[in-house]
Amino acid sequence: MASQEIENLVQALSKLPGLGPRSARRAVLHLIKRPETTMKPILAAMERVQANLVTCDICGNVDTQDPCQICVDPRRDEKALCVVEEVSDLWALDKSRLFPGKFHVLGGRLSALDGVRPEDIGIDKLIKRVERGGIDEVVLAMNATLEGQTTAHYIAERLENYPLRLSQLSHGIPVGGELDYLDEGTLAQALRSRRPINSD
């Protein structure tokens, strides 16, 4: 039987995504087994992040500086902007190193059921960024959910009168995916997004 303090730590960790009670208990046991090499560095890193954590006023990214490192990076294409729902989406796309431009985090998606309206997320801030000029392309990288696609459609309507190229991430069959394992929605989107094969 663990002490209440250790049990509280297990319960706190079990609330993290991907960690249930058993995984949290294993993580805690690993931490307390070698506190000098595991627990202390993690505690120090968490304290530093907590002390310096800010939200970028330009794009909505979470960083320890404002503007964030992405916004101040001179190697990035100022004319290309990728719009995402959440910071986790930004981090996933940025990690791929496939998008050379900058980002805009909405901080959510439109949802009539949850009462999330356009003014509740960063759509107006996005429009103001576009209005300032200098952006030639906006990529809508919304998740392939009903709410994500509704959000993308709404943003596309708001941006249709601006002189820029508007594109959306393609959704469909993942690399290595087998048709009989895919759900109907993924297959339908793959069929709608089909493209011709150029024959030489």
pLDDT per residue as tens digits for the range 71-96: 999 999 999 999 999 999 999 889 88
Q: What is the pLDDT of residue 176?
A: 74
Lowest-confidence region among 14-23, 50-59, 189-198 = 189-198
> pLDDT digits over 116-138, tens only?
898 899 999 999 999 998 999 99
Q: Which residues of 74-86 are buried (b: 16+ CB within 10 A; e: fewer)?
A: eebeeebbbbbbb
With beta carbons less than 8 A apart as the criterion, state whether 55 and 61 touch: yes
Asked if residues 109 and 151 have their Cβ atoms less than 8 Å apart, the reply is yes
Distance in angstroms (rounded) separating the CA atoms of residues 7 and 15: 13
Whether residue 130 contacts residue 73, with contact meaning beta carbons closer than 8 Å, is answered with no
**Strongest mean pLDDT among 54-58, 97-101, 167-171:** 54-58
Residue with tokens 């506190």: 35
> Whole-angstrom Cα distance, residue 119 to residue 178?
40
Least confident of 1-5, 27-31, 48-52: 1-5
End-to-end CA distance of the chain: 71
pLDDT of 181 strictly over 60: yes
Scan for tokens 């949802």, then name that residue: 111
In 3D space, the residue among 39, 41, 47 whose CA is nearest the CA of residue 5 turns out to be 39
Q: How far apart are CA 144 and CA 142, in angstroms?
A: 6
- The phi and psi torsions of 9 (rounded to 5 degrees) equal -65, -40
Looking at residue 43, its amino acid is: L
Contact (Cβ atoms closer than 8 angstroms) between residue 141 and residue 169: yes
Ramachandran bin of 18, using left for φ above 0, alpha for ψ from -120 to 50, beta for the remaining angles: left
